[in-house]
Structure formats: structure tokens, C-alpha cells
A = this chain, B = another copy of it.
Amino acid sequence: MPTLTATGPVHVLDFGADENRFAPPWLDEVHAHLDTVAAGKEPAALVTIGSGKYYSNGLDLDWLTSHPGDAGKYVAGIHDLFARVLALPVPTIAAVNGHAFGGGAMLAMAHDFRIMREDRGYFCFPEADLNLPFTPGMAALVQAKLTPAAAVASMTTGSRFGGPQAKALGLVDATAALDDLRTAAIDRVAPLAGKDRGTLGAIKSTMFGPALTALRETGN
């Protein structure tokens, strides 16, 4: 399950050591940790990371299959999570320690910055191969963070991108050796930790207004 630790002002949210799919209890834990990060007035920033082979594989399709009556509410909750991270009032960075697929890749895109392990793991939007078109909110989120060329190359192809490829395309801002990944992520956001939450939240809410609206239309 997700755990939250602190390195100075930087909160490190470790999604866990397995596939870190969005099971409802996992989502509840993540939201509780985000409550902790977003509250208060002391300097803060957020790093998210996984501790195994996966950053996150996204939607919990097993849970979804076994709870067909709850699909609408479940998908709305995922959109709420994306919207929350997109406008989180502290600086955020995803440390992509391994595979980030589908909703897991979208969650990484919702952060301000992304840094990815350089030697293993894939960043991938498999929607085109799974016959699961992006919802308008999901598409708006990803497109709000990518150049048009990167959006086409990643969203229409189902291609898997290793760290250097993901960096070259702009899916991530930087790469690092696995041993350095957590520290590099912390170093990126620690100098930004002193921003006023109200100001930073307002800036992100204005910048990503259309994507937030599209996410919340599904999320509510």
C-alpha cells in the first residue's frame, strides 16, 4: 500500500512494490496522503514513486470486472484523482521507477514534472491496442502536457517508450539511473517547496482550466 515519508520539505509518496493499480483502497490511501501534503502552510513538494518494477499500471481491471455496477463511479474517481494531482497546490514530480501504463502514465502526466529510470521500464498509453479510447478528460490531461507531435506518437500508437525514448519525445523531462532517481526527483522540487499553496494552486488551475473542466465533467 502507498506510504508517505518526508525528506526535508519534500513528501515522498511511494505507491508500493507491486503493479500499483488503482484499487479503491489504494485510491483512498493516496487521497489521504495527498490531504497531508496539501494541508498546512509549511513548505512542501511532492515526489511520487514506486518501489518495485512498476510506477503504476493504472486501472484495476480485475476489480472493475468484478464490480460492473460500480464502473461509472470508479472511473469518475480516477478522473478526480487526475484533476487533484494536476492542480495540487505544491510542486509535484513523478519519479517513474518502472512501467507506467495507461492510467499510471496519465497519473504521471498530471504531475508538474516527470523523471524516468533510464535503463528499464516502459512509458505507454496502450489505449489504442486495448480498444479503450481516451475519455475527453483523459485526452485533455495528456494533451495539456505534451507537444502535438508527442501526443500523436504516444496516444495513437500504443507504443512503449523506454526512458531515453520518453525523454527524446518529451513524455518525461529527464532520466536518471535507478539508484539516483529518488534523489534526483527530490532535488528537482525541493528548491520550489516554499511557494504559497493558494498562489500555486491558482496558477495551475488557470493554466489547466480546460483539462480540469473536462476531467471534472467525468469525475462528478
Contact = CB atoms under 8 A, between A and B. Distances in A.
Contacts of A200: 128, 156
B204 A156 contact: yes
A136 interface: yes
Given A152-B112, A207-B155, A199 B132 contact: yes
Contacts of A139: 203, 206-207
Interface stretch (A4-12, A24-32, A72-80, A141-149): A141-149
A156 B91 contact: yes
A29 to B, nearest CB: 26
A149 B156 contact: no
A119 interface: no
Contacts of A128: 195-196, 199-200, 203
A131 B199 contact: yes
A60 interface: no
23 contacts: A91-B156, A112-B152, A113-B152, A113-B153, A127-B199, A129-B195, A131-B198, A131-B199, A133-B202, A133-B203, A133-B206, A134-B203, A134-B207, A139-B206, A145-B148, A145-B152, A151-B207, A156-B192, A156-B195, A156-B204, A156-B207, A157-B192, A158-B192
